[in-house]
């Protein structure tokens, strides 16, 4: 069974950070101190469960920046990332945003392009990983 919830950060912080630590810190060697920032308590967080196990997360900041999208390795390439993104976009629409942006790791650009995102600007390094900014105009706006 798959369940996607709008997760209160204070209540689900340990589950959210556990997924992000596994994906970003352990797999991608992002410094652990970069995983929590001042936007965490202000953002809307999603948490994806498969058979009761938290396996994916993502967030939307008040400024319309989607980030911290992470799915545990055994659950990738099954549509979970797409599911998270579509729900984050829906939240953005419901909050009155006309577009969303994100900083895509270069190996994920194709994933975001398939969802309708367009890359812009130069490549840049964040946490030792090459990224490129991407943006999407939301439906209905």
Q: What pTM did the predictor assign? A: 0.94
Question: In which domain, by residue range, is 84 found?
Answer: 2-137
Q: pLDDT per residue over 40-90, tens digit each?
A: 999 999 999 999 999 999 999 999 999 999 999 999 999 999 999 999 999
pLDDT reported for residue 101 = 98
d(CA 117, CA 133): 10
Does the pLDDT value for residue 8 go beyond 60?
A: yes
Does the pLDDT value for residue 97 go beyond 60?
A: yes
| CB neighbour list of residue 91: distance below 8 Å, 6 or more residues apart | 6, 44, 46, 60
Confidence of residue 139 (pLDDT cuts 50, 70, 90): confident
CB-neighbour burial class of residue 91 (10 A; exposed 0-12, middle 13-18, buried 19+): middle
On the CB side of 83, CA atoms within 13 Å amount to 20
Does the pLDDT value for residue 127 go beyond 80?
A: yes
Average pLDDT over residues 25-44: 91
Confidence of residue 36 (pLDDT cuts 50, 70, 90): confident
CATH number at residue 113: 3.40.630.30
Residues 64, 97: contact at Cβ < 8 Å?
yes
Residues pairing with 79 in the sheet:
none
Over pLDDT 70: what percentage of the chain?
A: 99
Work out how many domains the chain is built from and give that number.
1
pLDDT reported for residue 141 = 56
């Amino acid at each position: 069974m798959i369940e996607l919830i709008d997760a209160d950060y204070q209540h689900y912080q340990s589950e959210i950070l556990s997924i992000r630590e596994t994906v970003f810190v352990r797999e991608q060697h992002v410094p652990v101190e970069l995983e929590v920032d001042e936007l965490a308590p202000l953002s809307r967080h999603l948490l994806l469960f498969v058979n009761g196990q938290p396996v994916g997360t993502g967030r939307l900041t008040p400024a319309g920046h989607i980030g911290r999208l992470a799915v545990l390795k055994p659950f990738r390439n099954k549509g979970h990332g797409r599911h998270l993104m579509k729900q984050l976009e829906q939240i953005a629409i419901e909050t009155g945003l006309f577009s969303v942006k994100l900083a895509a790791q270069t190996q994920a650009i194709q994933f975001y392009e398939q969802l309708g995102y367009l890359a812009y600007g130069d490549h840049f390094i964040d946490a030792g990983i090459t990224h490129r900014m991407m943006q999407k105009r939301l439906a209905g706006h």
